[in-house]
């Protein structure tokens, strides 16, 4: 269990405002410096129904999730950057009328607060990531289909990262990776993020749509090609970091079907999928400034059930992809020492 809990207090007192048969979670979360971890998403996943209940940590570091049906949950924080390690508590039992109270101090992430990549840097990024979407109608290609071209950022948008239900071997591997300080993270070797991790993290991407082809490019990553010319998947695709992607139109929705992945990318902070991965993405551009995405991942080799992620991206007209060469001036690898 990846938990960094200072204290957990369980109160059996019933809350008058609580519905019969439900309980609640409340608490306070601090970052490694003891500063309120404001804006940090938290969630409780019912391990029987897989229902997800969410909250966001306030400016005072507090959160509350009410009206939880009695049952067993996994409680976790969603940390998308490496400045803090995620907090996960499995098999958390909530009884009717019960309030579980947390006091959590997050643990230092793998950046170890290094100069230029430490907590101050991430706080500055978080403070500067609100992007206001420009207003206007959906631009269209000459054939009338929506034009997805633009620089799209998760900042200022919304997200629902779902609750992936990994098989036991995948969970065991995740715990092993955390015990090993994530030293095998593909990015530490300048390897690509892969499709799912890029979407999970909400990385900004440049889209370029032409007749028959949509190209997606994230900073420091391989370009991804989505074929819109009616071709099929190869009968025996060569497993690749980005797989093989083809798209078709359902009205104004672009449906992207992808297979042929290798098993090397990590899909969140520590989990991997297999070569059985099948992705279906649905993209919509309802207006000029927003891009909506629903991604469903199916993998009989690593997931117990399909995993759905939903995101809304915002068009950023003031930013763009910068040149990024991972090995240039790299100084981190020499500090990754064996235990």
CA 91 to chain CA centroid, nearest Å: 22
Helices then strands, each counted (H, E), the chain: 3, 17
Q: What are phi and psi of 227, to 5 degrees?
A: -85, 130
User: Where along the chain do its domains lie?
Assistant: 5-105, 132-335
Query: Strand 244-250 and strand 224-227: pairing?
Result: parallel
Take residue 46 and report the two structure tokens written for it: 């019912």
Burial class (CB in 10 A: 0-12, 13-18, 19+), 123: middle
pLDDT of amino acid 302: 98
pTM here?
0.83
DSSP 166-211: B-HHHHHHHHHHHHTTTTT-GGGGT----HHHHHHHT--EEEEEET
Torsion angle of alpha carbons 323, 266, 37, 292, nearest 10°?
70
CA separation, residue 255 to residues 20, 130, 246, 251, 283 (Å): 43, 28, 8, 10, 7
Please give the chain's pLDDT, 339 residues, in tens. 344 444 344 444 433 455 778 999 999 999 888 999 888 889 999 999 999 999 999 999 999 999 999 999 999 988 765 678 888 898 999 999 999 999 999 888 766 555 555 556 555 555 555 788 999 999 999 999 999 999 999 888 888 998 899 999 999 999 899 888 788 888 888 899 999 999 998 999 999 999 999 999 998 899 999 999 999 999 999 999 999 999 999 999 999 999 999 999 999 888 999 999 999 999 999 999 999 999 999 999 999 999 999 999 999 999 998 888 887 776 666 665 554
pLDDT of amino acid 4: 45
C-alpha–C-alpha distance, residues 236 and 217, integer Å: 25
Longest dimension (CA), the chain: 64
Q: Domain 5-105 is of which CATH architecture?
A: Sandwich (2.60)
């Amino acid at each position: 269990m990846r938990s960094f809990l200072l204290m957990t207090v369980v109160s059996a007192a019933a809350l008058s405002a609580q519905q019969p048969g439900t309980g609640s979670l409340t608490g306070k979360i601090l970052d490694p410096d003891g500063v309120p971890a404001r804006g940090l998403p938290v969630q409780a996943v019912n391990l029987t129904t897989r229902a997800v209940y969410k909250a966001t940590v306030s400016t005072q570091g507090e959160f509350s999730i009410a009206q939880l049906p009695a049952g067993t949950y996994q409680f976790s924080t969603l940390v998308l950057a490496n400045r803090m390690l995620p907090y996960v508590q499995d098999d958390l039992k909530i009884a009717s009328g019960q309030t579980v109270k947390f006091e959590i101090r997050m643990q230092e992430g793998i950046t170890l607060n290094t100069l230029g990549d430490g907590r101050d840097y991430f706080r500055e990024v978080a403070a500067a990531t609100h992007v206001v979407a420009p207003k206007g109608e959906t631009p269209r290609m000459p054939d009338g289909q929506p034009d997805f071209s633009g620089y799209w950022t998760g900042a200022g948008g919304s997200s629902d990262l779902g609750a992936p239900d990994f098989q036991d071997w995948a969970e065991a591997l995740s715990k092993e990776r955390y015990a090993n300080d994530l030293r095998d993270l593909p990015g530490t070797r300048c390897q690509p993020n892969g499709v799912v991790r890029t979407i999970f993290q909400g990385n900004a991407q440049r889209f370029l749509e032409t007749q028959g082809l949509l190209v997606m490019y994230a900073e420091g990553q391989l370009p991804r090609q989505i074929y819109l010319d009616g071709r099929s998947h190869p009968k025996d695709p060569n497993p690749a970091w980005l797989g093989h992607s083809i798209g078709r139109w359902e009205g104004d929705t672009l449906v992207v079907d992808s297979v042929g992945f290798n098993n090397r990318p990590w899909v969140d902070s520590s989990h991997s999928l297999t070569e059985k991965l099948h992705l279906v993405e649905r993209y919509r551009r309802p207006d000029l400034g927003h891009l909506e995405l629903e991604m469903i991942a199916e993998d009989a080799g690593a997931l117990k059930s399909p995993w759905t992620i939903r995101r809304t991206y915002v068009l950023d007209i003031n930013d763009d992809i910068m040149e990024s060469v991972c090995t240039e001036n790299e100084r981190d690898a020499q500090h990754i020492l064996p235990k």
